[in-house]
Structure 1
Amino acid sequence: MGMCSAAEEDLYAVLGANQSDSAQQLRSRYQQLALQYHPDRVGGVCSSQAESAVEKFLQVSSAWKILSDPDSRRQYDLHRRAQELKQDWPVDSTVYLKDMTWDQEGCVYRSVCRCGGVFSVSSEEVEETQQDEGEENGGIEVCCDTCSLCVLVTWTQTKTHITK
């Protein structure tokens, strides 16, 4: 199972929770499920059932790991919003990474939207996408933080094939 399928999973659904739930509510959902699926609890059951319980337990644990940390939860919520927007909004234009402004402090590339809002993409996101898609040329759809426009941030590695 690659990272991709995990990322597309709804972590709130995994915990049987909602995005609007408080941290306390999420914690109690997590604890309920963790107890229910804990490998020790399902120990004696036939193996395929125990295996799916273990898998569920790991899912629940990794969902909780992300949602229990306010920062990673915020990141995840933003990602979810971007996913939802991506389905509805056309990509307005393409922006080249090299034309974006590098913000040393935030470790993000920024580009200003015509509404005055900001498109930003972190260097980690770029690196992850580059690893996923191979290094030729990839892109990330980034949504403006103010309006509903999306742009495609792309890069083309300068490793052009040298022809003799």
Structure 2
Amino acid sequence: MCDAAQKDLYAVLGASSADSAQQLRQRYQQLALQYHPDRLGGEASSEVESAVKKFLEVDAAWRILSDQDTRRQYDLQRRAQELKQDWPVDCTVCLDDMTWDQDESVYTYSCRCGGGFIVSEEETQRRQQDDEQEGTEEGEHRGVVVCCDTCSLSVYVTWSLHRKTC
């Protein structure tokens, strides 16, 4: 269910989380008929390939949302993700792309409003220690949402785990 958690499965089916199981089934059946590879026999290969991809996406969404337990689990994951993200994220910025300020011991990145995003070295080290305690693997990326010091924009600052900080 990891790949599916990155996509909005309800949007894949053209539905909403408030829809009943019957409404989801009807939407799935409509889309399955529309994109099923057997219905596109004589069309160009690129169109068939695109339809197969869409059909597999719709089928994967249906497999999760059709079962009451997996749907509940998916809904809980979606809700948890929504609660984690308090602000709309404007973009993702790699910590390596930020400017290191030796005097302040912070990483900075300019906002389009003229303000800036600031991440302290202490914050990155603390998060890295948390990640090491969780047993995350080498090469994984983690990050933190940082708000502009002037406007309401925020960015998601990422870094590779087990990186050396300044």
Q: Which residue of 1 aligns with 2:7?
A: 9
Letter in 2 for 1:13: A
Q: Could you tell me which residue of structure 2 aligns to residue 112 of structure 1?
A: none
Supply the distance in 2 between the matched residues of 1:43 and 1:83 (Cα, whole angstroms): 40
Other-structure match for 2:72: 74
Q: In the alignment, what sits opposite 2:50? A: 52
Q: Give the aligned partner of residue 41 of structure 1.
A: 39
Structure 1 window deviating more from structure 2 (6-15 vs 56-65): it is: 6-15
Distance 1:32 1:88, change over 3 A: same
Unaligned runs of at least 5 residues, structure 2: 88-125, 145-166
1:11 Cα deviation (Å)? 0.2
Q: Distance in 1 between matches of 2:31 and 2:139?
A: 42
Q: Deviations for 1:62-116, whole angstroms, at most 9, x for unmatched residues? A: 0000000111101110111111111117xxx98x69x9xxxxxxxxxxxxxxxxx
CA distance in 2, matches of 1:27, 1:45: 27
Structure 1 runs of 4+ aligned residues shifted over 3 Å read 135-139
Deviation at 1:43, TM superposition (A): 1.7
Post-superposition offset of 1:7: 2.4
Look up the SS of the partner of 2:42 in the other structure.
Answer: coil
Report the count of equivalent residues. 106
One-letter code of the match for 2:19?
D
Matches within 5 A, 1:1-164: 4=3, 6-88=4-86, 130=136, 134=137
In structure 2, the CA distance between the partners of 1:47 and 1:138, relative to structure 1 (3 Å rule), is: closer
User: Structure 1: how far apart are the matches of 2:15 and 2:51?
Assistant: 19
Deviation, 1:135, is 5.4
Distance in 2, Cα, partners of 1:36 & 1:138: 38
The TM-score, its normalising length taken from structure 2, stands at 0.53
**What is the TM-score when the length of structure 1 is the normalising length?**
0.54
Decide whether the 8 Å contact of 2:28 with 2:58 is kept in 1.
Answer: yes
Change in CA separation of 1:138 and 1:36 when aligned onto 2, cut-off 3 Å: closer
| Structure index of larger Rg | 2
Query: SS of the residue aligned with 1:20?
Result: coil
CA distance in 1, matches of 2:60, 2:17: 16
Relative to structure 1, the CA distance from residue 73 to residue 50 in structure 2 (aligned partners, 3 Å threshold; closer, same or farther) is: same
Q: Which amino acid aligns with 1:59?
A: E
Q: Distance in 2 between matches of 1:30 and 1:11?
A: 11
